[in-house]
Amino acid sequence: MDLLYSRYADPKELMNIYIRQGRFGEFVAGICEMDMKRKKEVIQKDEENRLWLAYIHSMTDKSFRDWKEELMKIKESADYDMTNAQVNAVKQQVRGILDRITPV
């Protein structure tokens, strides 16, 4: 209901109209869709602002568009999953470090 009161002066009357017309489901779906769209736009705007600030501080000679495209390519190609062999290698490396430590 807060979602409706923030947009409409009298949401109960509006809902009653849709109920009488047999279109209440359509009304609810429309409200949810509009809210989801608004939230996505806010998230995209916030991300764009953060990228802009990072771009300003990067002191690059590239345009913002080129810098952003390059950054997105790096982001897409990043793979943080480790294979079992890599996990075991890291474990062995850590054990080697810990074995060299002698408690006082």
Q: Is the pTM of this model over 0.85?
A: no
pLDDT digits (tens, 9 = 90+) for 55-93: 999 888 999 999 999 888 877 665 667 888 988 999 999
CB 55 within 8 A of CB 68: yes
Helix boundaries (H) for 59-104: 64-77, 84-99
Residues 6+ apart with CB under 8 A from 82: 90
- Each residue of 16-69: pLDDT tens digit? 999 999 999 998 899 899 999 999 999 999 999 999 999 999 888 999 999 999
Look up tokens 């480790």; give the residue. 82
